[in-house]
Amino acid sequence: MISLIVAMDKNHLIGKNGWMPWDNKEDLKHFRNYTMNKSLLVGRKTFEGFKKPLPHRFSYVLTHSDMNIDDENVKVIHDIQEVIDKFKNSCDELVVIGGAQIYAAALPFVDKMVLSIMDGDYEGDTFFPDFDENDFEVESVENKESFRIQILRRKETI
């Protein structure tokens, strides 16, 4: 199973200067809870924004370069298809955690999206890629103090 988690504003903004446009502890807690003990797919730029690999999670880091990361919970990969094939029909969940380039590459394979839609107006430079909302149905909506969590599930196709 392949899922995706992202925090965006109403204009689909997700990033600013290599980090998030907002500082929202409740959303970071939600991200931590959702991803805990799962496998993650992350782009090289987003990975480098972390101080260290996210604990208690296994990270597949996508890059074109031959970077080496000496951590038993990190694997550098060059071909997204490698992890897509591993998780697509598996009960184990791969969570795509961005950034924009990785969301764009993974979107065609994603079964479920966990969106945090932030209240307020922000500025930034990185946006979630366009996708066809008709391909997904809203499974649930949960209101938090300064954002809402919307879970989308890909519609079944016969």
Q: Which residues bind ligand NAP (CB under 6 A)?
A: 6-7, 14-15, 18-20, 43-46, 49, 62-65, 78, 80, 97-102, 105, 126
Question: What is the distance in angstroms between the CA of the first residue and the CA of the last residue of the chain?
Answer: 18
Task: Closer to ligand NAP by CB, 15 or 84: give it.
Answer: 15
CB 40 within 8 A of CB 54: yes
Nearest distance in Å: CB 63, ligand NAP: 3
Residue whose CB is less far from ligand NAP, 105 or 157? 105
CA-nearest of 44, 34, 38 to 6 is: 34
**Token pair in block for residue 154:** 């890909």
CB of 158 to ligand NAP, least distance (A): 30
Q: Determine how β-strand 136-143 pairs with β-strand 147-154.
A: antiparallel
Nearer to ligand NAP, 25 or 155 (CB): 25
**Smallest separation (angstroms) from ligand NAP to the CB of 153:** 19
**Are 31 and 142 contacting, i.e. CB atoms less than 8 angstroms apart?**
no
Q: How far is the CB of 100 from ligand NAP (least distance, A)?
A: 3
- Distance, in Å, from the CA atom of 64 to the CA atom of 50, rounded to the nearest integer, reads 19
Q: Which is nearer to ligand NAP, 97 or 136 (CB)?
A: 97
